[in-house]
């Protein structure tokens, strides 16, 4: 039987194609996809061949898949046929994954919500690296999906106040529901002045840069207070110009790279949490209602409409946050 998958044929061109899935191997599980979440920043950056992407086509995007186990290979011991699972696999009707890369979805959590596990895990590893203590002021630059998730996790970690910053008011309207004490649109207010008021003139203890814009890096450094930590969570697509003496050296600011790839996947090292640890935890947090993602879903469409979904994300960033592809028709 032919399977279906999303493909980036070439720059700025998306299609859905038939493909033949290879044979199930030992230690693998076959998953029938139900919902997959488009990662708007990363996937559209690769689609548009922006700086710091491969620029090689065709590409098969996606890493946020929720579905049902249809078959298991030899040596699979913990996963059973019929289990509801999440995995970092692509936008396709059927996918194969190693058992150790598959996470069970908690009872009561929908497939749509579970599909957020990968982006939530990415946000969590950045928040962990910030070492937030109770009462630390936290600013999250960018209130897209990763920024909204990071803001919630910073709040859960004890951040106070927690401040959301974005150029789109529609995104900022969501942030207070997720724990933001203040929200600022730098296009409408003097950001450094408002930040000074919100932090009693101290500047931020932690700034999490979640926009992926090179222009936001200098802003993040300026907003950090003395001995502050700046977490580079967004994947910047270009170069930044920074006055290191003024904005880093004189304030004693610590800058921490938080790309998802720079952490252990299976075995903890140096006290770090693994990808599996964080994926399991965010699913539990969502299942208990401590991490909210339902109101981040702005659009759900059939996988057949994937080309239009990507177009809307690129052309309507202010309204298209979480976009779910529905695979139940396959």
Per-residue pLDDT tens over the stretch 181-233: 999 999 999 999 999 999 999 999 999 999 989 999 999 999 999 999 999 99
Rounded CA separation 102/98 (Å): 7
| Residues contacting residue 101 through CB under 8 Å, at least 6 positions apart | 87, 88, 276
| Residues contacting residue 56 through CB under 8 Å, at least 6 positions apart | none
Smallest CA-to-CA distance from 259 within 210, 317, 314 is with: 210
330 falls in which pLDDT band (50, 70, 90)? confident
| Cα dihedral 279, 284, 287, 288 sign | negative
| Residues contacting residue 4 through CB under 8 Å, at least 6 positions apart | 16, 17, 18, 19, 92, 93, 303, 327, 330
Per-residue pLDDT tens over the stretch 141-161: 999 999 999 999 999 999 999
Q: How far apart are the first and last CA of the chain?
A: 11
Give the percent of the chain with pLDDT over 70: 97
* Residues linked to residue 139 through DSSP beta bridges, in sequence order: 163, 207
Rounded CA separation 249/274 (Å): 32
pTM (2 decimals)?
0.95
Backbone angles phi, psi at 144, to 5 degrees: -75, -160
| Residues contacting residue 179 through CB under 8 Å, at least 6 positions apart | 151, 152, 154, 155, 156, 162
On whether the CB atoms of residues 160 and 137 are closer than 8 A, the answer is yes
On whether the CB atoms of residues 207 and 141 are closer than 8 A, the answer is yes
- Report how far Cα 115 is from the mean position of its chain's Cα atoms: 11
- Report how far Cα 192 is from the mean position of its chain's Cα atoms: 27
Rounded CA separation 69/66 (Å): 10
- Report how far Cα 206 is from the mean position of its chain's Cα atoms: 19
47 falls in which pLDDT band (50, 70, 90)? very high
Distances (CA, A) of 164 to 74, 203, 238: 48, 14, 23
1 falls in which pLDDT band (50, 70, 90)? low
In this structure, which topology does domain 3-116+293-326 adopt according to CATH?
A: Quinone Oxidoreductase; Chain A, domain 1 (3.90.180)
Three-class secondary structure of residue 225 per DSSP: strand
Q: Could you tell me the residue ranges of all domains in the chain?
A: 3-116+293-326, 120-257
| Cα dihedral 219, 141, 146, 305 sign | negative
pLDDT score recorded for residue 119 = 98
Per-residue pLDDT tens over the stretch 251-300: 999 999 998 887 766 666 556 788 899 999 999 999 999 999 999 999 99
Per-residue pLDDT tens over the stretch 70-98: 999 999 999 999 999 999 999 999 999 99
Please report the beta strands in the chain, taking only residues with DSSP state E, as ranges in sequence order: 3-10, 13-19, 28-38, 65-72, 84-87, 94-98, 102-104, 138-141, 162-165, 182-184, 204-209, 224-232, 254-257, 297-302, 322-326
CATH architecture of 120-257: 3-Layer(aba) Sandwich (3.40)
């Amino acid at each position: 039987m032919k399977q279906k998958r999303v493909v980036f044929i070439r720059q700025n061109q998306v299609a859905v194609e038939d493909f033949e899935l290879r044979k199930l191997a030992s230690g693998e599980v076959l998953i029938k996809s139900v919902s997959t979440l488009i990662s708007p920043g990363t996937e559209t950056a690769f689609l548009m061949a922006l700086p710091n992407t491969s620029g090689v086509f065709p590409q098969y995007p996606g890493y946020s898949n929720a579905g049902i186990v249809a078959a298991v290979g030899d040596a699979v011991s913990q996963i059973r046929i019929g289990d509801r699972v999440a995995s970092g696999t692509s936008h396709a009707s059927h996918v194969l994954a190693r058992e150790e890369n598959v996470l069970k979805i908690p009872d009561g959590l929908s497939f749509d919500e579970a599909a957020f596990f990968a982006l939530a895990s990415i946000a969590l590893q950045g928040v962990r690296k910030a070492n937030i203590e109770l009462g630390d002021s936290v600013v999250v630059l960018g209130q897209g999906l990763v920024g909204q998730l990071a803001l919630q996790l910073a709040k859960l970690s004890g951040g106070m106040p927690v401040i959301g910053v974005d150029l789109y008011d529609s995104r900022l309207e969501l942030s207070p529901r997720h724990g933001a004490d203040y929200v600022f649109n730098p296009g409408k207010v003097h950001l450094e002045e408002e930040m000074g008021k919100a932090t009693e003139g101290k500047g931020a203890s932690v700034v999490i840069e979640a926009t992926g814009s090179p222009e936001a890096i200098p802003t993040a450094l300026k907003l950090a207070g003395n001995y502050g930590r700046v977490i580079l969570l967004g994947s910047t697509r270009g170069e930044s110009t920074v006055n290191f003496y003024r904005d880093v050296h004189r304030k004693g600011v610590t800058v921490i790279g938080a790309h998802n790839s720079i952490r252990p996947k299976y075995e903890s090292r140096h006290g770090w949490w693994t990808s599996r640890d964080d994926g399991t935890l965010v699913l539990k947090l969502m299942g208990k209602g401590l991490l909210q993602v339902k109101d981040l879903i702005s659009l759900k469409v059939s996988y057949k409409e994937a080309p239009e979904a990507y177009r809307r994300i690129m052309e309507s960033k202010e309204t298209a946050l979480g976009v779910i592809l529905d695979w139940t028709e396959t």
